[in-house]
Amino acid sequence: MTSERVSKLLQEMTTEEKIGQLLQLSADFFEGSQAVITGPMREHDLTLATVYTAGSVLGISGAERVHQIQADYLAKSRLKIPLLFMADIVHGFQTIFPIPLGMAASFDPEAVKLASEVAARESAVSGLHVTFAPMVDLVRDPRWGRVMESTGEDPYLNSVLAKASVDGFQGDLDVEHIAACVKHFAAYGAPEAGREYNTVDLSEWRFREQYLPAYSAAIAAQAKLVMTSFNTLFGVPATANQHLFRDILRDELAFKGVVISDWDAIGELINHGVAGNLQAAADQALAAGVDIDMMSFAYAKYLQKAANLDESTRQLIDESTARILELKESLGLFTDPYRQVTPEREQAELKSVQNLNAAQQVAEESIVLLKNERAILPLARDQKLALIGPVANTGDLLGSWSWQGDQHQTPSIYTAMAEKFPQVSYASGCAYHQLNHREFDQALSTARQADKIIAVLGLPSSESGEATSMTDIRLPQEQLTLLQALAKLGKPIISVVVTGRPLDLTLVDDLSAAVVLAWFPGSRGAAALTNILSGAVNPSGKLPMTFPRSVGQVPIYYNQFNTGRPLSHTENDRENKYLSKYIDEANSPLYPFGFGLSYAEIKAQPISATQQGRSIQLKVELENTAALAGKTVVQCYLHQPVATTVQPVQRLVAFSKVLVPSKQKVELTLTVAPEELTYLDAALKRQTFTGELKFLIGLDSQHTKAISIAYQND
Ligand code: GLC
């Protein structure tokens, strides 16, 4: 329903002013070379007048800077329509949280919501109104660099965390919150061969069952914007795809907010081969319902013929303008274009102790203990430790999409460890991709003096995120050579891996007594890791994505279909040639979805399953026999029911993170919602399972116990 103010503005605005609202410009149009540019630049022929009718800008922040630009802009705006400031605030503004894939490992919606709330507060006091987040693309291919920005391979986990993130960013859109832009619609996370910007081709059945749920959850959580994706889907580029944006997004999901293209995605319709020129590209995107053109200048083409637009184009421009003005109104910009932004508020908020503590807390929940032979971890304070590796003493722990974060202000793992362990020494051993003998020999000599070796390995944040697809997902050979040399010293090795993607850690696992996955852990990641290694915090992270034995297995994910010739996990698997398997690799992953160890000894036992209305409630007992408390994630999977379309061998349908005190039992109830007990038939109609349903309960996706119930769905 268009408000009175928006209706009135629409009547007063000229066609040029309406078209202006549809343009988003990059920061350099307003602040020259200091701008943050996050996409390819294209030639454009905009007049200064156009710049001052543009509806929004991306990549500018800072209380004073935004205030100055807004004041200057409003002074030139005939109808005083405020400029909208947008940017990529993905996992923190100046206080950087773990990358989203790391936060997903917390399996804690409250942690994800907290991270988004802090990011929103810091962004809002710095003058931002909209974040291009959360990215909720489902991803099953670690070769694709943007896997770091996702929450992994599972539709249900992605949906729960998408809602948590939107709730955290938006709150009630007061001046401490910002509008969320869910992206990238749709299925950008499924590029063929994991190659960035490559073709996506999914059946609509699979898209709707597995890729659509998380976008749908974000929209149900009232995300104010949706961003188009660069890829094709169902044979049509998303940015021109009316079935995707009109039928599915606008009609089925009833999305009333603003659709913004990704950077130059409208212009790229020419490369895709569906538009012959920029004007045709503009017409297709406008017809698909794209409201804002981010940096392709296609919509600027309408300015040249503003007086002669046909009625349908004029109508589409009015609809888009109305949605943009409603967004500005929902942010309170017509009442206060500055949203109470002052340098004092900004100063008090940015990287406050409270915010940094929140980042540390979330990082502690995100770190995953993947191996701990002979309980070598946690480490005693007085042990002689050698910290070796290219990632041991660097601030490059923030990960991609942390443009406002400062690596130089980020404590390194060595800095944090030295505060807790008085006898820790350090040597780099090698660079990320380089070995030199002096550095290498120095590291071995340092390691010889120690009782235990902590190898800190991984990739720089520059090899993670957009435009960083890789064909080889092992650690660089130089680092593996260093690890092999360290292993020859015959001392126990604890390997810490800093990464934005699942890697092939097979050799690391072979050579290490313990393996700790730190992700890119953020501003306080080093302190969080130190607390985990020292036992001050008991690790509770679980994998939101499968870690393969080799890249040849990719895509590999837990919720696969059984096939007609599955393995039986008996002797037959070896003897029978004609099974769905490889002759040179196992089918199983190195580390499965949902896996993560604890210093405690916790076991899960399903107690009962009862139907409550259309939901199912599962009572589970957890027992911790260890002398220390621990958090864990109880996971409930629906085992492959019989249906008219194939169903995953197992599918996550409920989970809960629980603290189990030492030497105690706790009982909890997991509720499986009715919508998790449905499936899509071959005609794309939603059906409900009937009859006996089997649930698998456990602390990861592989080690589970079954409980069944006859489900009545009448
Ligand atoms: C980039 C990304 C998108 C981001 C946008 C603006 O190309 O694909 O996720 O929000 O440009 O920076």
168-209 residue pLDDT tens: 999 999 999 999 999 999 999 999 999 999 999 999 999 999
Q: Is 32 exposed, middle or buried (0-12, 13-18, 19+ CB in 10 A)?
A: exposed
Mean pLDDT of the chain: 96
CB atoms within 10 A of CB 333: 20
Position in ligand 1 atom list of the atom nearest CA 229: 8
Question: What are the two backbone dihedrals, phi and then psi, of residue 525, each rounded to the nearest 5 degrees?
Answer: -65, -35
Say which of 88, 108, 262, 264 is annotated catalytic. 262
Joined tokens for residue 268? 């790229």
Where residue 704 falls among pLDDT bands split at 50, 70, 90?
very high
For residue 582 the two structure tokens come to 């490889």
Assess whether pLDDT exceeds 70 at residue 220: yes
pLDDT at 51 over 90: no
Atom 8 of ligand 1, residue of closest alpha carbon: 262
**Which pLDDT score, from 0 to 100, does residue 27 have?**
87
**Ligand 1, residues at Cβ distance < 6 Å:** 38-39, 58, 88, 132, 183, 262-263, 466
Q: Go through the chain and tell me how many residues it has.
A: 714
Summarised one tens digit per residue, pLDDT across range 258-274 is 999 999 999 999 999 99
Please tell me the distance between residue 228's alpha carbon and the centre of ligand 1 in angstroms.
10
Q: Could you confirm whether 262 is annotated as catalytic?
A: yes
User: For residue 41, is pLDDT > 90?
Assistant: no
Mutate to test the pocket of ligand 1, among 86, 139, 262 (most ligand atoms within 8 A of CB): 262
**Selection from 11, 174, 172, 158 nearest residue 79 by Cα:** 11
CB atoms within 10 A of CB 271: 13
Confidence check: pLDDT of 370 > 90: yes
Q: How many angstroms is it from 251 CA to the middle of ligand 1?
A: 26
- 84 bridge partner residues: 56
Going by CA atoms, what residue is nearest to atom 3 of ligand 1? Answer: 262
- Looking at ligand 1, which residue's alpha carbon is closest to its atom 12? 38
Q: Average pLDDT in the 94-113 region?
A: 98
Residue to mutate, 37, 41, 88, ligand 1, most ligand atoms under 8 Å from C-beta: 88
- Radius of gyration of the chain measured on its C-alpha atoms: 26
Q: Whose CA is nearest to atom 10 of ligand 1?
A: 132
524-573: pLDDT as tens digits = 999 999 999 999 999 999 999 999 999 999 999 999 999 999 999 999 89
Q: Give the list of residues 6+ apart from residue 305 with CB closer than 8 angstroms, or none.
A: none
| Spatial distance between the Cα atoms of 194 and 561, rounded to a whole number of angstroms | 20
- Mean pLDDT throughout 619-643? 97
pLDDT tens string 316-362: 999 999 999 999 999 999 999 999 999 999 999 999 999 999 999 99
What separation in angstroms does the CA of 293 have from each of 41, 227, 296?
14, 10, 6
DSSP 239: G
Measured CA to CA in angstroms, residue 592 lies from 153, 291, 453 at distances of 11, 41, 26
How far is it, in rounded angstroms, from Cα 374 to Cα 395? 31
Amino acid at 569: H
The DSSP-derived string for 188-228 is TT--GGG-TT------HHHIIIIIHHHHHHHHHTT-SEEEE
**Ligand 1 atom with minimal separation from the 132 CA:** 10
What digits encode the pLDDT tens for the residues 647-700?
A: 999 999 999 999 999 999 999 999 999 999 999 999 999 999 999 999 999 999
Tell how far CA 272 is from the center of its chain.
27
Q: What percent of the chain has pLDDT over 90?
A: 95
**CA dist., res. 256 & res. 440, Å (int):** 59
Band of residue 49 on the pLDDT scale cut at 50, 70, 90: confident
The answer to whether 147 and 104 have CB atoms below 8 angstroms apart is: no
Token pair for 127: 């003058």
Q: What is the distance in A from the centroid of ligand 1 to the CA of 488? A: 45
| Ligand 1 atom closest to residue 181's alpha carbon, by position in its atom list | 10
* Residue 42, pLDDT above cutoff 70: no
Instruction: Please report the atom of ligand 1 found closest to the CA of residue 230.
Output: 8
Residue 218 has pLDDT above 60, yes or no: yes
Strands 452-458 and 493-498: parallel
* Residue 272 or residue 48, greater confidence: 272
**Distant-in-sequence, close-in-space partners of 167: CB < 8 Å, separation ≥ 6:** 113, 116, 221
Please name the residues in contact with 104: beta carbons below 8 A apart, sequence gap of 6 or more. Answer: 112, 150, 151, 152, 157, 158, 161, 366, 544, 545
Nearest CA among 611, 124, 592, 597 for reference residue 369: 597
Is the pLDDT assigned to residue 135 strictly greater than 90?
yes
HEC string for 244-305: HHHHHHHHHCCCCCEEECCCCCCCCHHHHCCCCCHHHHHHHHHHHCCCEEECCCCHHHHHHH
Instruction: Please state the φ and ψ torsions of residue 89, each to the nearest 5 degrees.
Output: -110, 90
pTM greater than the 0.85 cutoff: yes
Q: Is the pLDDT of residue 36 over 80?
A: no
CA of 402 to the centre of ligand 1 (A): 13
List all residues 6 or more positions away from 257 whose beta carbon is below 8 Å from its beta carbon.
223, 224, 225, 226, 323, 327
Distance CA 364, CA 596 (A): 13
Distance 198 CA to ligand 1 centre (A): 16
Ligand 1, atom nearest to 59 Cα: 12
Q: Which amino acid, residue 17?
A: E
Residues 332 and 32: beta-carbon distance below 8 Å? no
Q: Specify the residue for token string 């938006």.
A: 170
Compute, in angstroms, the gap from residue 113 CA to the centroid of ligand 1.
22
- What is the predicted pLDDT for the residue at 40? 66
CB distance 245 to 290 below 8 Å:
yes
Arithmetic mean of pLDDT, 629-646:
97
| Residue 39 CA to ligand 1 centre (angstroms) | 7
Nearest to 327 by CA among 220, 216, 170, 113: 170
Percent of the chain at pLDDT exceeding 70: 98
Ligand 1 atom with the smallest distance to the CA of 88 is: 10
- Assign 610 to helix, strand or coil: strand
pLDDT beyond 90 at 43 = no
Phi, psi of 527 (to 5 degrees): -65, -40
Q: To test the ligand 1 pocket, which listed residue (185, 263, 266, 468) has its Cβ within 8 A of the most ligand atoms?
A: 263
d(CA 638, CA 23): 46
Strand pairing class (686-688; 691-698): unpaired
In the three-class reduction of DSSP (H, G, I as helix; E, B as strand; rest coil), residue 445 is classed as helix
Both tokens of 415, joined, read 């800095």
- β-bridge mates for residue 515, sequence order: 371, 495
Residues 6+ apart with CB under 8 A from 93: 61, 119, 122, 123, 126, 128, 350, 404
Any idea what DSSP says for residue 351?
T
> Packing angle between helix 477-487 and helix 437-448, nearest 10 degrees?
30
Classify residue 142 by its DSSP letter.
Answer: T
